[in-house]
C-alpha cells in the first residue's frame, strides 16, 4: 500500500480544501490493552499555552486550517498600512504632511517599531510551538518496569487539589504499611496482628522518620509539599516513602540494593558495549536519557493531522527592533547597514508566505534481512522512502513502525531528509528478534514546507521491498540450547526414570536386604549370605522412577514487566527458561507438559519422548498466550486454577515460571501446592532499583519468596545476567541443606 489516497486531494497552497476526508484512520487498535493510561494528546505544546490566534485551535487531532485574517491583529495591521503609506508617500515626494519633519517622522517610526517589537516578543513567549509527537518505537511496547505504578502514585501525591493529595498520600501509606507489617511479622517472628499494632504505634523500627511516616497519627503538611513539588524538590511523601523503603530493604531477606546496583550497571555496560560500539562518542553518553518506565507503541489515535508549528512567531519583531534602535541612537536617520540587517531578517519571515504546502506523496518500501531469524539474533530492516510526486518535499521525517514486540538494538528507525520529486532515500536499523511473528505498524511520516511553518503528519503502510518479503512481519523461531539439568521434587510416576526414590526394588544403588520371597529374581539373591549362613536373602536397590512435570509459564498482564522498557521482559526469560526446562526434563526421561497462566488457554498434556519437545517449542514460539503484546483481558486465578487442576494428572508436579511481581501468582502457586501438586517457582529477576517504587517492588518480591518458602514451595531466584544453571545449582544447595 502507499499513500496514494492522499494524492487526489493534494493542491499546493490550498490545505483548507482537504476538509474532513483527510481524517483517515490509518491503523486502528480498538482493543488497546493498556486501558490504564488515557490517550495522550498527539501534539506537544512546548509553549504551554494553546493558540494565540483566535479561531485557530492548536488542539490535538485538529486539521488545518484557518488562514490568518486582518481581524486577528487589527492594530498591527493598521500600523503597518500607515507606515507603508507613509513610505510610499515620502518616496513619491508627496508633501502631504509637511508639518512633520523628517527627524520627527523617524522618531515616531522608532517608537512604533520598538512597540511593535515588544508586542511580537510577547506573542513569541506566549505562542505554543506545536509539533508532532513521534512514537517510542525503539522500545518493547506494553512492558512496564516493576514499581512504575507506585512511582506514579508518589508523583501524584505532590500535585493536585488538597483532597486529591491527601487521598493519594493515604494510599501510599496504606501500601507501605502492608509491606512493613508483612516484613516485621516475618523478621520478628510475631503474629501479623501484633506486627500491625506495632507498625501503627511506630515501634517497629529504630528509624524515627520511617516509623513516624507509617504511624497511625502521622500528620502531613500539604502546603509545604505543594511548594516543594512546584520547585522540583521531593515532596515529604516521596522522602518518607523512600526512607521506609530503605528500612524495609534492610529488614527484608536477601535484598541488598548496593549489590543489586552494581550488578545492574555491569549488565548495562555490557549491553551498551555490544549495541552501540562505535555508534556514539563516549563523552555524550553522560547525557544519555533514561528511558521511560512504560511506553505504549500501539497508540490507537493515528490520525492524519496538519498543523501550524508557529516556529516563526515574533521574528518580524527583531527587524522592528533593529530599525527602532537605529532611529533612537542615530537621532533620526537610520544607518543603511541597519536597514539592510532588518531586511535580511524580514526575508526569512516572508519565506512562510512563499512556501508552498509540502506534498505527502510518499511510498515506503521495507525489506527485512533475513525475514526469518532465530530468537536472539538480529534482523536488519532496510526502509526505502520514495517521493512519488513531482514536487519537492523539503523536510521529510519518518519513524518506522517497528513491531511492538521487538526492540531496536543498532541504528535508528528514525530518519529525516529532503526528497525531490521521484527521489528515493534509504535507511536501515537492526532489531533483536524475540520469538513469534511480529507485524509492522504503519510508518509515522511528518513532512514540512520550506519554512517549516506547516507540518503534516501521516501514517503510511509499507510495501514489500526487493526481497519480496518482510514488509508485513518478521518471523522468528526460538532456537535454544538445552543443556541444563533442572531438579524436580521426589514425587514420581511409576515409570523408570532418573529420580531416585526411597523404595527398594530394581535399580543400581544399594538400598536394603530383605528375606527371600518366592518369585524374587535369582540375580538379586544375596549369594554371599547364602554361602555364609545358608539363609536366602534378596538384595534391594533404590528404584529410579520418572516424574511427571508440568511447566507453567506466567503470561498474565502482570507478567509483562521488564527492568527497563528497552530490555528483554520477564516473559522472554520465562520462555527461554521453559524451553530449557522442558528439554532437560525430557532428556532425563520425565514426562513433561506445558501450560500458560494466562487468560488465553494453552495446555499441552504431559508426555515423554522427543516429539514432545517439538510440540512444546511450537507452543512457546507461536501460541497466542505467549504473544509479545500484553493480553487485553485480566486473569481470574480461581477459575483458571480449577480448570488447570482438572487437566493436571494426579501425580504431576509443577514448575511455575513467573517474575513474582504481584501477589496473585503467589496465591496461585500456594493453592496448587496445597492441593498436592508440588510446586517449584523459577523466577527471573526483572526488577530495577532506580526509583522508590522500583525498590519497593524489589522488597515486595523478596517477601513473596519468603511467603512461598514458608508454604513449602521451592523457589529459584534467577538473576538473568547469569546462566539458569547457576541459579538452579545455588537453589539446590539451599534445598539439600
Partner 1 sequence: MSVVRRPARTSVALAVLPGLLGSVALATTLGGLVLGLAGLAVVAAGATWASRPVVTAGALVSFLGVVFAALAGVSPGFVLVGAAGAVVTWTTAQHVVGLGEQLGRDARVVRSVVVHLAVTAGATLVAGGATLAVFLAAEGSFPATAVVFLLAGVALLLGALEP
Interacting residues with partner 1 between 662 and 701 (CB under 8 A):
none
Part of the chain binding partner 1 (CB under 8 A), chosen from 133-141, 174-182, 196-204, 592-600 = 133-141
Helix (H, G, I), strand (E, B) or coil at 368: strand
Part of the chain binding partner 1 (CB under 8 A), chosen from 147-155, 230-238, 284-292, 477-485 = 284-292
User: Is 454 among the residues that bind partner 1 (CB under 8 A)?
Assistant: yes
CB of 462 to partner 1, least distance (A): 18
Interface pattern 320-359 for partner 1 (x via CB under 8 A): xxxx-xxx-xx--xxxxxxxxxxxxxxxxxxxxxx-----
Between residues 236 and 451, which has the closer beta carbon with respect to partner 1? Answer: 451
CB of 364 to partner 1, least distance (A): 16
CB of 329 to partner 1, least distance (A): 6
User: Is 57 among the residues that bind partner 1 (CB under 8 A)?
Assistant: no
Who's near 651: CB < 8 A, 6+ residues apart? 491, 492, 493, 548
Part of the chain binding partner 1 (CB under 8 A), chosen from 24-32, 236-244, 452-460, 611-619 = 452-460
User: Is 317 among the residues that bind partner 1 (CB under 8 A)?
Assistant: yes
Q: Out of 2, 44, 107, 477, point to the residue binding partner 1 (CB under 8 A).
A: 44
The owner of cell 538480529 is 378
Calpha distance 184→9 (Å, rounded): 69
CA distances from 410 to 286, 380, 398, 407 (A): 19, 9, 17, 9
Q: Out of 173, 211, 248, 319, point to the residue binding partner 1 (CB under 8 A).
A: 319
Between residues 267 and 346, which has the closer beta carbon with respect to partner 1? Answer: 346
Of 412, 413, 476, residue with least CA distance to 439: 476
Calpha distance 225→240 (Å, rounded): 12
Q: Out of 150, 204, 213, 396, point to the residue binding partner 1 (CB under 8 A).
A: 396
Of 609, 370, 620, 378, residue with least CA distance to 480: 620
CB of 344 to partner 1, least distance (A): 3
Q: Out of 18, 136, 363, 621, point to the residue binding partner 1 (CB under 8 A).
A: 136
Burial of 21 (0-12, 13-18, 19+ CB in 10 A): exposed
Who's near 450: CB < 8 A, 6+ residues apart? 351, 354, 355, 356, 394, 395
CB of 338 to partner 1, least distance (A): 4
User: Is 289 among the residues that bind partner 1 (CB under 8 A)?
Assistant: yes
Give, as ranges, the residues between 66 and 95 that touch partner 1 (CB under 8 A): 67-68, 70, 72-73, 76-77, 79-88, 90-91
Of 487, 228, 468, 481, residue with least CA distance to 370: 468
User: Is 443 among the residues that bind partner 1 (CB under 8 A)?
Assistant: no
CB of 393 to partner 1, least distance (A): 10
Part of the chain binding partner 1 (CB under 8 A), chosen from 123-131, 157-165, 252-260, 636-644 = 123-131
Q: Provide the total of helices (H) and of strands (E) in the chain, helices listed first.
A: 19, 23
Q: Out of 255, 316, 539, 713, point to the residue binding partner 1 (CB under 8 A).
A: 316
Calpha distance 585→565 (Å, rounded): 32
Part of the chain binding partner 1 (CB under 8 A), chosen from 224-232, 445-453, 468-476, 608-616 = 445-453
Backbone φ and ψ for 506, nearest 5 degrees, come out as -75, 145
Burial of 294 (0-12, 13-18, 19+ CB in 10 A): buried
Calpha distance 279→300 (Å, rounded): 33
User: Is 418 among the residues that bind partner 1 (CB under 8 A)?
Assistant: yes
**Dihedral of CA 27/30/33/37: which sign?**
positive
CB of 306 to partner 1, least distance (A): 12
User: Is 366 among the residues that bind partner 1 (CB under 8 A)?
Assistant: no
Q: Out of 146, 158, 314, 569, point to the residue binding partner 1 (CB under 8 A).
A: 314
Calpha distance 219→549 (Å, rounded): 53
Cis-peptide, bond into residue 65, ω within 30° of zero: yes
CB of 113 to partner 1, least distance (A): 5
Give, as ranges, the residues between 605 and 664 that touch partner 1 (CB under 8 A): none
C-alpha cell at 117: 517589537
CB of 457 to partner 1, least distance (A): 10
Give, as ranges, the residues between 460 and 519 that touch partner 1 (CB under 8 A): none
User: Is 446 among the residues that bind partner 1 (CB under 8 A)?
Assistant: yes
Calpha distance 351→89 (Å, rounded): 27
User: Is 424 among the residues that bind partner 1 (CB under 8 A)?
Assistant: no
Of 593, 584, 591, 595, residue with least CA distance to 609: 591
CB of 74 to partner 1, least distance (A): 8
Q: Out of 33, 212, 300, 411, point to the residue binding partner 1 (CB under 8 A).
A: 411
User: Is 118 among the residues that bind partner 1 (CB under 8 A)?
Assistant: no
The owner of cell 487485553 is 632
Part of the chain binding partner 1 (CB under 8 A), chosen from 17-25, 225-233, 242-250, 451-459 = 451-459
Q: Out of 171, 175, 372, 414, point to the residue binding partner 1 (CB under 8 A).
A: 414
C-alpha cell at 477: 523461531
User: Is 364 among the residues that bind partner 1 (CB under 8 A)?
Assistant: no
Per the CB < 8 A criterion, the answer to whether 373 and 476 are in contact is yes
Calpha distance 406→411 (Å, rounded): 14
Beta bridge partners of 50: none
Helix (H) or strand (E) holding 664: helix 664-674
Give, as ranges, the residues between 167 and 226 that touch partner 1 (CB under 8 A): none
Give, as ranges, the residues between 139 and 158 that touch partner 1 (CB under 8 A): 139
Q: What is the Cα Rg of the chain in Å? A: 35
Q: Out of 9, 107, 234, 276, point to the residue binding partner 1 (CB under 8 A).
A: 276
User: Is 380 among the residues that bind partner 1 (CB under 8 A)?
Assistant: no
CB of 110 to partner 1, least distance (A): 9
Part of the chain binding partner 1 (CB under 8 A), chosen from 19-27, 151-159, 280-288, 709-717 = 280-288
Helix (H, G, I), strand (E, B) or coil at 414: strand
Give, as ranges, the residues between 96 and 115 that touch partner 1 (CB under 8 A): 102, 105-106, 109, 112-113
Give, as ranges, the residues between 551 and 570 that touch partner 1 (CB under 8 A): 564, 566
CA distances from 384 to 218, 421, 444, 464, 465 (A): 62, 15, 14, 10, 8
* Number of residues located near partner 1, criterion CB under 8 A: 120
Q: Out of 22, 42, 116, 185, point to the residue binding partner 1 (CB under 8 A).
A: 116
Calpha distance 708→209 (Å, rounded): 31
Q: Out of 219, 284, 286, 494, point to the residue binding partner 1 (CB under 8 A).
A: 284
Amino acid at each position: 500500500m502507499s499513500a496514494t489516497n492522499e494524492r487526489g486531494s493534494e493542491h499546493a497552497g490550498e490545505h483548507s480544501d482537504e476538509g474532513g476526508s483527510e481524517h483517515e484512520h490509518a491503523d486502528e487498535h480498538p482493543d488497546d490493552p493498556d486501558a490504564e493510561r488515557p490517550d495522550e494528546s498527539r501534539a506537544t505544546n512546548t509553549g504551554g499555552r494553546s493558540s494565540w490566534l483566535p479561531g485557530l485551535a492548536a488542539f490535538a487531532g485538529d486539521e488545518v486550517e484557518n488562514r490568518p485574517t486582518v481581524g486577528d491583529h487589527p492594530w498591527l495591521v493598521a500600523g503597518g498600512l500607515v507606515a507603508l503609506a507613509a513610505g510610499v508617500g515620502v518616496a513619491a515626494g508627496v508633501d502631504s504632511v509637511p508639518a512633520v519633519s523628517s527627524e520627527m517622522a523617524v522618531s515616531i517610526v522608532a517608537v512604533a517599531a520598538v512597540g511593535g517589537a515588544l508586542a511580537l516578543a510577547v506573542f513569541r513567549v506566549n505562542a505554543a510551538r506545536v509539533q508532532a509527537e513521534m512514537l517510542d518505537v525503539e522500545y518493547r511496547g506494553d512492558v512496564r518496569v516493576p514499581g512504575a505504578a507506585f512511582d506514579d502514585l508518589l508523583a501524584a501525591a505532590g500535585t493536585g487539589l488538597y483532597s486529591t493529595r491527601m487521598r493519594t498520600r493515604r494510599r501510599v501509606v496504606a501500601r507501605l504499611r502492608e509491606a512493613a507489617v508483612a516484613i516485621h511479622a516475618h523478621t520478628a517472628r510475631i503474629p501479623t496482628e501484633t506486627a500491625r499494632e506495632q507498625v501503627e504505634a511506630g515501634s517497629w523500627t529504630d528509624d524515627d522518620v520511617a516509623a513516624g511516616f507509617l504511624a497511625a497519627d502521622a500528620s502531613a503538611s500539604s502546603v509545604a509539599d505543594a511548594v516543594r513539588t512546584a520547585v522540583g524538590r521531593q515532596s515529604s511523601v516521596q522522602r518518607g516513602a523512600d526512607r521506609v523503603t530503605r528500612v524495609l530493604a534492610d529488614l527484608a531477606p536477601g535484598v541488598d540494593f548496593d549489590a543489586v546496583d552494581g550488578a545492574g550497571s555491569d549488565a548495562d555496560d555490557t549491553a551498551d558495549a555490544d549495541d552501540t560500539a562505535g555508534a556514539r562518542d563516549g563523552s555524550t553518553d553522560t547525557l544519555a536519557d533514561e528511558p521511560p518506565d512504560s511506553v505504549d507503541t500501539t497508540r490507537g489515535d493515528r490520525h492524519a493531522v496538519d498543523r501550524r508549528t508557529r516556529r516563526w512567531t515574533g521574528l518580524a519583531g527583531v527587524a522592528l527592533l533593529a530599525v527602532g534602535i537605529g532611529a533612537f541612537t542615530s537621532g533620526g536617520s537610520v544607518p543603511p547597514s541597519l536597514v539592510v540587517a532588518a531586511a535580511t531578517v524580514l526575508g526569512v519571515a516572508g519565506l512562510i508566505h512563499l512556501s508552498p504546502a509540502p506534498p505527502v506523496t510518499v511510498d515506503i518500501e521495507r525489506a527485512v534481512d533475513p525475514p526469518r531469524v532465530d530468537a536472539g539474533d538480529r534482523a536488519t530492516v532496510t526502509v526505502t522512502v520514495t517521493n512519488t510526486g513531482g514536487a519537492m518535499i523539503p523536510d521529510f521525517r519518518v519513524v518506522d513502525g517497528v513491531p511492538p514486540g521487538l526492540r531496536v538494538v543498532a541504528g535508528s528507525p528514525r530518519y529525516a531528509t529532503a526528497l525531490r520529486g521521484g527521489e528515493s532515500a534509504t535507511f536501515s536499523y537492526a532489531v533483536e528478534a524475540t520469538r513469534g511473528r511480529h507485524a509492522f505498524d504503519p510508518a509515522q511520516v511528518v513532512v514540512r514546507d520550506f519554512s517549516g511553518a506547516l507540518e503534516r503528519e501521516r501514517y503510511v503502510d509499507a510495501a514489500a521491498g526487493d526481497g519480496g518479503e518482510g514488509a508485513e512481519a518478521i518471523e522468528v523461531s526460538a532456537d535454544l540450547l538445552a543443556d541444563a539439568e533442572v531438579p524436580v521434587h521426589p514425587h514420581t510416576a511409576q515409570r523408570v526414570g532418573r529420580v531416585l526414590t526411597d523404595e527398594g526394588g530394581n535399580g543400581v544403588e544399594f538400598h536394603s536386604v530383605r528375606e527371600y520371597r518366592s518369585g524374587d529374581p535369582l540375580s538379586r539373591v544375596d549369594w554371599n549370605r547364602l554361602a555364609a549362613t545358608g539363609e536366602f536373602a534378596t538384595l534391594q536397590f533404590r528404584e529410579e522412577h520418572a516424574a511427571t512435570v508440568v511447566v507453567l509459564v506466567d503470561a498474565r498482564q502482570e507478567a509483562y514487566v521488564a527492568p527497563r522498557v528497552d530490555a528483554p521482559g520477564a516473559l522472554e526469560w520465562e520462555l527461554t527458561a521453559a524451553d530449557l526446562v522442558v528439554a532437560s526434563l525430557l532428556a532425563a526421561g520425565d514426562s513433561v507438559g506445558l501450560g500458560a497462566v494466562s487468560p488465553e488457554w494453552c495446555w499441552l498434556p504431559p508426555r515423554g519422548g522427543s516429539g514432545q519437545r517439538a510440540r512444546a517449542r511450537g507452543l512457546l514460539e507461536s501460541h497466542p498466550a505467549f504473544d509479545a503484546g500484553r493480553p487485553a483481558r485480566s486473569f481470574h486465578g480461581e477459575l483458571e486454577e480449577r480448570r488447570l487442576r482438572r487437566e493436571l494428572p494426579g501425580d504431576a508436579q509443577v514448575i511455575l515460571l513467573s517474575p513474582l511481581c504481584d501477589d496473585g501468582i503467589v496465591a496461585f502457586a500456594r493453592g496448587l501446592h496445597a492441593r498436592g501438586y508440588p510446586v517449584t517457582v523459577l523466577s527471573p529477576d526483572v526488577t530495577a532499583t532506580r526509583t522508590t517504587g522500583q525498590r519497593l517492588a524489589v522488597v515486595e518480591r523478596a517477601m513473596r519468596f519468603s511467603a512461598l518458602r514458608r508454604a513449602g514451595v521451592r523457589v529459584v531466584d534467577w538473576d538473568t545476567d547469569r546462566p539458569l544453571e547457576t541459579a538452579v545449582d545455588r537453589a539446590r544447595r539451599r534445598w539439600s541443606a
